[in-house]
A and B are shown apart, each in its own frame.
Chain A
Amino acid sequence: MSVSETDIKNHVVKYLMEKLESSGMDRYEIEEGIDLVGSGLISSLGFIELLASVEKQFDIEIDFEDRDTSEFTTFTGFVKLAADTARAKNG
């Protein structure tokens, strides 16, 4: 099964919405360029939970080894990295 960037984007948005719903956060706060951790939207621990959720959903293991934190804590950066990983896995 091939996974598109849109699938991952939708999953991340849905995950964040569910997480943030109870705290009264509005959807418009999740913008494409937002730094998920730096903006305070989620904590660093929350980021690890988001990561676990995406990896489980799409059965992938994202390798962050040689990446700068600021590259992958943005919404766009994270989705792209997950999509690249899924593409590499599924050929």
Chain B
Amino acid sequence: MGIRKLLISGFIQATGKYPEHTALKVDGADYSYGALARLAAEISASIKAGESQVYPLVALLAHRSISAYAGALGILMAGKGYVPLNPNFPTERNFNMLSLSGCRIVVAGKECLDMLKTLLPKLAVPFAFIFPDTRELDELRNQYPNHLFIGADDVAAIEGRVSMPDNGQESIAYLLFTSGSTGVPKGVCVSNQNARAYVDYTCARYGCDHRDRFSQAFDMTFDLSVHDLFVCWEHGGCLCVIPESTTMAPAKFIKDNKLTMWFSVPSVAMFMSRMRMLKAGSFPSLRFSLFCGEPLPATLAQQWQDAAPNSVVENLYGPTEATIAITNYRWNNSESPAVCRNGIVPIGRAFEGQRTCVVDQALRVLPAGQTGELCLGGSQVTGGYLNDPEKTTQAFVRIPQMGDGIWYLTGDLALEDENGYLHYLGRIDNQVKIRGYRVELQEIDAALRKASGSEMAVCVAWPLAGGSAEGVVAFICGANVKNERPIIDYCKGLLPPYMIPTRVEFINDMPLNVNGKIDRLALLNMLKKENG
């Protein structure tokens, strides 16, 4: 029997070893491992006190605040998995995620009180809300007597002990929702074992230790944030949370905080490049620069390498269903440009211990050089979608030629080149990446149809840059209302910010393909023509 390790194990060990070391810099304050662990233990004890029925998941409605980080740790310390919500998402979406998750306890930060107030009237069953940083809750208590509100004073009064929970490795560490084509987001269950496989591999590869200073750029609803938190805390590093207002182009933040580990979507690097922030030698403190979430243009990798001359630049790839990232490619200024295809950096090879293969529609394995669907196998492949056996069986399959084990069908097109490097070539379906976020275009179409009252309403990802999209443009034909504002406002009430169309085109004829379906490619070509 091996030693039971959970996602939180590293943090607990680091707390024993470096209690005085800074674990977290957020909102202008520094928190030592000892202080953060104590708060997490109090939250953990509050969860157990507030629990009327044992349930394996607890929601987290907190954003770039002490409550967000201590909350995630406290939930894990209670032996539960955390379900991040997002105050920048519409109420409806947070409500959907909360309902689908089945959670009855929410850890909330004061920065999310406004969002919570819009959620509360929708909740039909009693909840317990834990506020590690809010005292004035009487107004909520009076207005919603069926819910339990545990404030900062109650949390502080509870005796919490920093300790390893006794849940098994197969239990859920976090549940994250991805865009679903039918409009209902899918909850991906990532187990402690899945997450451990990622953290163990990653810490060893980058030789992380207590002197490292990690960027924290990703929202917690994006699974790449799990890397930031738990790879950092595994060996006593310092997590530097980028303030919301700075996330667009945080060049100064990297310098001021002397970061050693950088992780972001390529879009952030692209903004920095356009703002002339990527000058040669700008970021000498960085040891590693990791990019993931969308295609990485070779020119950008090169620019970043020059700006961060002491860092190793890597391109990572992986869907939430296979835990954070599962392939990588190490950039090299002299050799890599020749390996790139269409100016895009390869996604490389599977992490040691994980597996990939490329298959055709009949799940037959294709040889190198042929384009097919990328499939992922190994200990990072998750158990599938929460309460959705049908979608789970569709996406998690057996591939007879590859022997035992479950493979995740990514829906991504890829090919392996003569060097054994995988190249990402786009999506099989209508899923796109917008600034790194996975988006099913049909989900936006559904909102556009409701907003316009027209069945002929679709969107395309536009503008396209470096193999990924920066936004969405909507096309509507035969709408009653031909005004952009109400349609965009409607979408804002339903969809997260990155899914809101940047503009709406009202057209007289909708282009159709031979099957009579709306021809997105023709719409895309209209936009291309318009831009010369």
Contact = CB atoms under 8 A, between A and B. Distances in A.
A24 B277 CA distance: 34
Contacts of A61: 276
Nearest to B245: A70
A64 B471 CA distance: 24
Interface residues of B, number: 29
A40 B471 CA distance: 14
Which secondary structure dominates where chain A touches chain B? loop
Interface residues of A, number: 26
Contacts of A37: 248
A70 B274 contact: no
Nearest to A63: B276
B252 A66 contact: yes
B484 A69 contact: no
A74 to B, nearest CB: 10
Given A43-B471, A45-B502, A65-B279, A73 B245 contact: yes
Contact of B245 (A35, A46, A51, A62): A35
Contact of A64 (B249, B483, B497): B249
A44 B250 CA distance: 13
A69 B250 contact: yes
B105 to A, nearest CB: 31
Contacts of A25: 485
A23 B245 contact: no
A56 interface: no
Given A37-B248, A43-B502, A70-B243, A24 B271 contact: no
Nearest to A69: B246
Nearest to A24: B485
B251 interface: yes
Contact of A24 (B276, B471, B483): B483
A65 B251 contact: yes
B246 A46 contact: no
Nearest to B488: A23
Given A22-B484, A44-B271, A73-B245, A65 B503 contact: no
B470 interface: yes
Contact of A69 (B248, B255, B279, B463): B248
25 contacts: A22-B484, A22-B503, A23-B488, A23-B503, A35-B245, A37-B248, A38-B245, A40-B497, A43-B471, A45-B502, A48-B275, A62-B275, A62-B276, A64-B249, A64-B275, A65-B251, A65-B277, A65-B282, A66-B251, A66-B252, A68-B252, A69-B247, A69-B249, A69-B250, A69-B252
Interface of A: 22-25, 35, 37-38, 40, 43-48, 51, 61-70, 73
Which 10 pairs, one residue from A and one from B, show the smallest C-beta to C-beta distance? A24-B485, A70-B245, A64-B275, A69-B246, A44-B248, A45-B470, A23-B484, A69-B248, A68-B252, A23-B485
